[in-house]
Chain A
Amino acid sequence: EAQVTQNPRYLITVTGKKLTVTCSQNMNHEYMSWYRQDPGLGLRQIYYSMNVEVTDKGDVPEGYKVSRKEKRNFPLILESPSPNQTSLYFCASSFSGYQETQYFGPGTRLLVL
């Protein structure tokens, strides 16, 4: 089944404790992206990657890191999480970019205490 998977689905952590949210797609998509969703603010892009080893900042990259060492994986790293990073996070992928349909993972609910 074609899908985007994210882990973990739910995470409660404390300020400053490094964490990684994994994202993997099995559709051989070149493009991958991370979003966060907050009430009243909609979906905001954190980082995106057009291909392996090619990543770029989105609209709200501060406090996040990403890497794209393999085509299928695009982990999101929070080196020192803070409470304002409490949010719902989505990973997405598409064949080649924004003109194509993006397929989303199930989301990761993160609470930073």
Chain B
Amino acid sequence: AQKVTQAQTEISVVEKEDVTLDCVYETRDTTYYLFWYKQPPSGELVFLIRRNSFDEQNEISGRYSWNFQKSTSSFNFTITASQVVDSAVYFCALSERDAGNNRKLIWGLGTSLAVNP
């Protein structure tokens, strides 16, 4: 079973719509970290946000916002008033310690977002 699940493989919206990308994770670690990265069509991976497990405050950065809910093991990402430049693949990742106390980084498979004019 996936430890980081991005259930939406592809999403298509029209410009100015709000869109939420889901990320559900599974971990037994008490101190873990969650990340979101963006991969635009040009291919590079761009860091968006890092959140540790003790900080459940939601984060807003311009049109981007993140909702971290430990109770449901989710770290969802919302883009408000989407723009064509938001078209990209978005990855969620989890950093946790495994049974051997080794910290690992586990990636979701990504959600491809297409924002159409």
Give chain A's interface residues, CB within 8 Å of chain B: 40-43, 45, 88, 90, 92, 97-104, 106-107, 109
Is A99 within 8 A of B95, CB to CB?
yes
List the B residue with the shortest CB-CB distance to A44: B107
Majority secondary structure of chain B interface residues (helix, strand, loop or mixed): strand
Is A42 within 8 A of B91, CB to CB?
yes
User: Closest CB-CB distance, B31 to chain A, in whole Å?
Assistant: 8
Chain A residues whose C-beta falls within 8 Å of the C-beta of B47 in the assembled complex: 101-104
List the B residue with the shortest CB-CB distance to A106: B44
Is B43 within 8 A of A88, CB to CB?
yes
CA distance A106 to B44 in the complex (A): 5
7 smallest beta-carbon distances between A and B, as pairs? A104-B45, A98-B105, A98-B95, A42-B109, A98-B103, A43-B107, A107-B43
CA distance A45 to B35 in the complex (A): 16
Is A42 within 8 A of B107, CB to CB?
yes
Show 21 residue pairs from A and B whose CB-CB distance is below 8 angstroms, ordered by the A residue: A40-B109, A42-B91, A42-B109, A43-B107, A45-B105, A92-B45, A98-B103, A98-B105, A99-B52, A100-B50, A101-B47, A102-B35, A104-B37, A104-B44, A104-B45, A104-B46, A104-B47, A107-B43, A107-B44, A107-B45, A109-B43
